[in-house]
């Protein structure tokens, strides 16, 4: 009994020291360091499952029975950032190496006769294996971007790149305490969440239609919603002080584009999308940077395709194909020193 009592007492003081050590920890701030090198691995896996397909012509509407479309899609990026020059929380110069860039999509559907069709595509990015320099231009208040060193490449590949892959937009105001809550517009976080590092120039063997590209831009611009965040407690793991930032919210999209003069195919595309999101960003307080990220979204998407047709008397008419999907996406990110 005496030994057990001594053991129980001996366990108390280490726990007390851990509590004391964690209680005065610095708040989550971004503090880049000259010479630091961070490997970032980011991945998305998602599905879209057709819920219904409805055909509309004038005042007539008919659901297509047994219609089936299942889409699996995903991407994975591995990049390494070398911090060349930093001042306080600002990066003046950084070199990013795109070690691995993957993007793929597979689709299983049925045709008008009920036969299954399978299609799989992989997109390539010409930045894979290349390094890019970001250098702050104080006069223009933006980063100049170029291929690193003597590397050559098409400058058009760099136009959509963004330096920020640090998730600074998730951090609370200075002085925030555990339990603090705040809101952020989804538009201010969408880049970090859905296009980390910017709009990377992936491409297919067969280029997409101009109308599809305009629709992609319209959908991106139409993203809106609110994200609620909460600052969690600090915990210690392997000598690191880690603090969770919990977040959840909504994201809605309402976008459409019309065909331009003499453009073949649909006369119009329209998309309505509504998602709920929830996730956790883990911040390494001592290192002053993100440690890991995990979040998911679920919702429904309605895509309407307007097709040119002719009415009973040969007049111009429109057929609407209304695709309703259930959607689900999972995102992860890990960040480690090299």
Q: Per residue in 274-311, pLDDT tens? A: 999 999 999 999 999 999 999 999 999 999 999 999 88
Q: Residue 2 pLDDT > 60, yes or no?
A: no
Torsion of CA 270, 276, 280, 281, to 10 degrees: 30
What residue ranges do the domains of the chain occupy? 2-337
Residue in the structure block whose two tokens are 């309505």? 272
Percentage of residues of the chain with pLDDT beyond 90: 82
Worst-scoring range by mean pLDDT, 117-121, 217-221, 234-238, 313-317?
313-317
Specify the pairing of strand 60-63 against strand 69-87.
unpaired
Phi and psi of 36, rounded to 5°? -70, 150
Residues forming beta bridges with residue 102, ordered by sequence position: 76
Q: Residue 6 pLDDT > 60, yes or no?
A: no
Tell me the pLDDT tens digit for each residue of 98-115: 999 999 999 999 877 778
Look up residue 54 and give its two tokens: 């409805």
Q: Residue 7 pLDDT > 70, yes or no?
A: no
Whether 172 and 231 have beta carbons less than 8 Å apart is answered as yes
Q: Residue 10 pLDDT > 60, yes or no?
A: no
pLDDT of the residue at 261: 87
Distance (Å, whole) CA 161 – CA 239: 34
What does the mean pLDDT of the chain come to? 91
Q: Residue 15 pLDDT > 60, yes or no?
A: no
Mean pLDDT calculated for residue range 55-74: 94
Tell me the pLDDT tens digit for each residue of 305-324: 999 998 888 888 999 999 99
> What HEC string does 115-141 produce?
CEEEEEEEEEECCCCCEEEEEEECCCC
pLDDT of the residue at 112: 73
> What HEC string does 222-262 produce?
HCECEEEEEEEEEEEECCEEEEEEEEEEEEEEEEEEECCCC
Distance (Å, whole) CA 118 – CA 79: 32
Residue 12: which residues within 8 A CB-CB, separation 6 or more? Answer: none
Task: Assign 262 a pLDDT band (cuts: 50, 70, 90).
Answer: confident
pLDDT of the residue at 95: 98
Q: Residue 19 pLDDT > 50, yes or no?
A: no
pLDDT of the residue at 13: 35
Worst-scoring range by mean pLDDT, 7-16, 126-135, 234-243?
7-16
Task: Assign 238 a pLDDT band (cuts: 50, 70, 90).
Answer: confident
Task: Assign 81 a pLDDT band (cuts: 50, 70, 90).
Answer: very high
Distance (Å, whole) CA 309 – CA 311: 7
Tell me the pLDDT tens digit for each residue of 191-217: 999 999 999 999 998 889 999 999 999
Mean pLDDT calculated for residue range 26-54: 96
Distance (Å, whole) CA 76 – CA 178: 33
Task: Assign 164 a pLDDT band (cuts: 50, 70, 90).
Answer: very high
pLDDT of the residue at 150: 82
Q: How many CB atoms lie within 10 A of CB 170?
A: 22
pLDDT of the residue at 83: 97
pLDDT of the residue at 11: 36
Residue 206: which residues within 8 A CB-CB, separation 6 or more? Answer: none
């Amino acid at each position: 009994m005496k030994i057990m009592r001594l053991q129980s007492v001996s366990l108390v003081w280490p726990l007390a020291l851990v509590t004391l050590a964690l209680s005065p920890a610095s708040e989550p701030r971004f503090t880049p360091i000259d010479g630091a090198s961070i490997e970032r691995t980011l991945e998305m896996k998602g599905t879209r499952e057709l819920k219904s397909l409805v055909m509309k012509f004038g005042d007539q509407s008919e659901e297509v029975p047994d219609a089936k479309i299942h889409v699996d899609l995903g991407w994975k990026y591995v990049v390494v950032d070398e911090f060349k020059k930093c001042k306080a929380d600002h990066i003046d110069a950084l070199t990013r190496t795109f070690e691995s860039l993957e993007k793929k999509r597979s689709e299983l559907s049925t045709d008008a006769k009920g036969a299954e069709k399978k299609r799989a595509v992989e997109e390539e990015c010409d930045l894979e294996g290349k390094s890019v320099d970001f250098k702050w231009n104080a006069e223009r208040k933006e980063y100049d971007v170029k291929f690193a060193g003597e590397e050559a490449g098409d400058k058009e590949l760099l136009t959509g790149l963004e330096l920020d892959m640090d998730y600074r937009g998730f951090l609370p105001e200075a002085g925030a305490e555990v339990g603090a809550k705040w809101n952020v517009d989804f538009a201010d976080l969408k880049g970090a969440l859905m296009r980390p590092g910017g709009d990377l120039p992936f491409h297919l063997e067969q280029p997409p239609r101009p109308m599809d590209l305009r629709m992609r831009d319209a959908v991106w611009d139409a993203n809106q919603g609110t994200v609620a965040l909460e600052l969690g407690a600090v915990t210690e793991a392997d000598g690191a002080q880690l603090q969770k930032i919990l977040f959840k919210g909504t994201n809605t999209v309402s976008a459409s584009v019309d065909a331009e003069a003499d453009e073949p195919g649909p006369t119009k595309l329209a998309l309505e999308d509504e998602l709920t999101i929830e996730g956790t960003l883990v911040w390494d307080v001592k290192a002053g940077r993100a440690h890991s990220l995990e979040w998911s979204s679920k919702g429904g998407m309605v895509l309407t395709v307007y097709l040119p047709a002719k009415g009973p008397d040969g007049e111009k008419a429109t057929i609407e194909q209304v695709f309703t999907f259930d959607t689900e996406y999972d995102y992860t990110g890990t960040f480690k020193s090299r």
